[in-house]
Amino acid sequence: MRPPPLAGGGLPLLLVAPVSLAALSGCDRAPDPGAGRAPFPTFTDVTEAVGIRFQHDNGFDGVRYRVVETVNGGVALLDYDLDGRLDIYFTNGCKLEPGPIPPRDALYRQGPDGKFTDVAREAGVDDPLMSLGVSVADVDGDSDPDIFVTNQGRNRLYRNDGNATFTDIAPESGVAGDSMHSGSAFLDMETDGDLDLYVASYVEEKGPEYPACVVRGVPGYWPPRNYPAARHRLYENKGDGRFADVSEVSGIRNVDPPGRGLGVIAADLNDDGHQDIYVANDMTANYLFLGDGKGKFAETGLLSGAALGEGGEELGSMGVDAADYDGDQHLDLCVTNYQDQINNLYRCSGPAAYEEMARLAGISPGGLPEVSWGVGFFDFDCDGAPDLFIANGHLNPGTRLMDESTSYAQPKKLFRNAGQGRFENVTAGAGAAVGRPRVSRGAAFGDIDNDGDVDAVVVEAQGSPEVLRNDGGSSGAWCLVELRGAGRNRDGLGARVTLSAGGRTLIAERRGSGSYLSANDPRLHFGLGPARVIDRIAVRWPDGSRDMHEGLPVRRLIRITQGRREPEVVDLSQDARRP
């Protein structure tokens, strides 16, 4: 994130990172999604129809220009009351002088009819502070999801009390903090069965006047390099309700200079069975912390090739997601960036080694007017290949007057996986809601109506969010995998699922956060194309144990409990809802 260039600006558009011959030729890839695909799905904006009345306020008061106003706005999908239906949590901003009715975070409960009701006040999660992001995990191992909200100032750790209410336990747990916190991720860093917590921080923003950065006579926000980066933190779960700050001893502070962190994911990126951490930093090199499974991390972003842009430059990175887009059973990365910077598609070419493939893959063609935030790999048409969704929006309402090449509101983009490591831009055919210009921030993805395809929820700065229903995506086969871990990690966070069906092998990992300051459906979605049966589902749990199940039906939710001989197969067809 940075203001538009004062003159000239932009990055050279002809710089292309070196790539392997195998990457260009498509060797060592899974079969393409074949011909004869199902009718093209579209997304419909059903926000009003399902009862979502939330309005996001980024905190701008029309006078002071706080950089935090440009980066807040996360959303989480979770089933907080364990009724089998996804609920939605929105973070909200806060003005310096909020007035008698300040903006508050919202928790929308989904009813049996598919309609949503805001229950945040009754549930005790209507935070009035400047909230940035959210992650979800069963922190205390009692089988219901808890909510962690990052704030400018004190964070919230909402313990789910199991009776439709939450209690903020951040202060006594030791994770309240005192900075401008942003992305966060739960993980079991030392393989002891409980969940630890990485919290990224953005910048040290000082007032009290917050003067504008004036470009062409238009007031706006100062570039991030005008602010010192705030220190990130890693908390170890002590198993008794308390967390200890292990930022120094773990190695995550052994970086210089510190990064201006935004999006965060925890995943096993080098496939060694241990959780790693990737952090998207704004105008500082991105982090790739490789974990040793004992609570220590080594920062390898530069060495891995996933820290900088295609020309070796630091980028304004925001969101991040990881998936195997090319079918080689390695997790690849997509990182969203600022205007005039390509969104990175880092293809994994070996253990923690990456090649920049965005231009060759077709996700960054032509001009680059967008500022990109929320991002998700998901199979929107259920053909067996992960597609890519990116939410866009600029920083300042006066953007167009500063730079005629861009705009404040911008359309989202949808890229369909065409196989052979390439994508095609299908935004124009994905429905008016996708192509309509909005000022987007966080985005979360999941099967909100339990009909077998993936829907999207996108936060819009200074406005209503968008609940985008996927219409027609479930014409191909699919399954949802729900994990229930043993011990204190009831979510199975960090577990890797490998599914074989119809001649394809697909992988996915269970995470508590991702995209941009957001959290996705806790159930793992797999598109299966023409497959009529799931040949095999194998689960590698965080403690290294494994379960395998064979001959399972498609178009079902498969609930796998660690160590249990048979999975539970659930038919969701009676619960599918179309408001």
pLDDT digits (tens, 9 = 90+) for 310-353: 999 999 999 999 999 999 999 999 999 999 999 999 999 998 89
Question: Measuring CA to CA, which residue among 215, 131, 136, 255 is closest to residue 181?
Answer: 131
Rounded Cα gap, residues 536 and 92, in angstroms: 42
Provide the residue-wise pLDDT of the chain in tens; the chain has 579 residues.
Answer: 333 333 333 333 222 333 332 332 333 334 444 434 446 899 999 999 999 999 999 999 999 999 999 999 999 999 999 999 999 999 999 999 888 889 999 999 999 999 999 999 999 999 999 999 999 999 999 999 999 999 999 999 999 999 999 999 999 999 999 899 999 999 999 999 999 999 999 999 877 789 999 999 999 999 999 999 999 999 999 999 999 999 999 999 988 888 999 999 999 999 999 999 999 999 999 999 999 999 999 999 999 999 999 999 999 999 999 999 999 999 999 999 999 999 999 999 998 899 999 999 999 876 689 999 999 999 999 999 999 999 999 999 999 999 999 999 999 999 999 999 999 999 999 999 999 999 999 999 999 999 999 999 999 999 999 999 999 999 999 999 999 999 899 999 999 999 999 999 999 999 999 999 999 999 999 999 999 999 999 999 999 999 999 999 999 999 999 999 999 999 998 766 555
Which two tokens mark 25?
Answer: 């030729």
Rounded Cα gap, residues 313 and 360, in angstroms: 19
Rounded Cα gap, residues 248 and 245, in angstroms: 8
Q: Sheet holding 477-484: strands in order across?
A: 524-529, 477-484, 556-561, 568-570
Q: Which residue has the tokens 């880092």?
A: 346
Rounded Cα gap, residues 80 and 159, in angstroms: 11
Cis peptide before 386 (omega within 30 of 0): no
Question: Measuring CA to CA, which residue among 342, 301, 344, 298 is closest to residue 320?
Answer: 344
- Radius of gyration of the chain measured on its C-alpha atoms: 22
Pair 224, 282: CB distance under 8 Å = yes
One-character DSSP codes across 483-529? EE-STT-TT-TT-EEEEEETTEEEEEE--S-BBTTBB--SSEEEEEE
Residue 240 exposure: Cα atoms within 13 Å on the Cβ side: 2
The neighbouring-strand residues paired with 354 are 348
Which two tokens mark 153?
Answer: 């100032």
The neighbouring-strand residues paired with 323 are 332
Rounded Cα gap, residues 187 and 279, in angstroms: 14
The neighbouring-strand residues paired with 118 are 108
Q: Which one-letter amino acid corresponds to residue 511?
A: R
Q: Which one-letter amino acid corresponds to residue 47?
A: T
Where helices occur in 395-438 by DSSP H, the ranges are 399-402, 432-435
Instruction: Output the CA–CA distances (angstroms, integers) from residue 297 to 60, 83, 196, 346, 537, in the order listed.
Output: 38, 38, 13, 21, 30
Which two tokens mark 208?
Answer: 């009290």
Q: Which residues of 31-47 are buried (b: 16+ CB within 10 A; e: fewer)?
A: ebbeeeeeeebbbbbbb
Please state the separation of Cα 456 from the chain's center in Å.
11
Which two tokens mark 243?
Answer: 């967390």
CA angle 305/515/175 to nearest 5° reads 95
Rounded Cα gap, residues 477 and 528, in angstroms: 5
Rounded Cα gap, residues 175 and 189, in angstroms: 17
Per residue in 365-398, pLDDT tens?
Answer: 766 899 999 999 999 999 999 999 999 999 999 9
Q: In 351-495, at which residue ranges do the beta strands (DSSP E only) sit?
A: 353-356, 372-378, 387-392, 413-419, 422-425, 440-446, 455-460, 466-471, 477-484
Residue 234 is classified by DSSP as: E
Question: Measuring CA to CA, which residue among 461, 457, 467, 407 is closest to residue 439?
Answer: 461
Pair 8, 220: CB distance under 8 Å = no
Q: Which residue has the tokens 């309609």?
A: 115
Question: Measuring CA to CA, which residue among 469, 513, 561, 477 is closest to residue 133?
Answer: 513
Q: Which residue has the tokens 């959290």?
A: 519
Question: Strand pairing of 477-484 and 556-561?
Answer: parallel
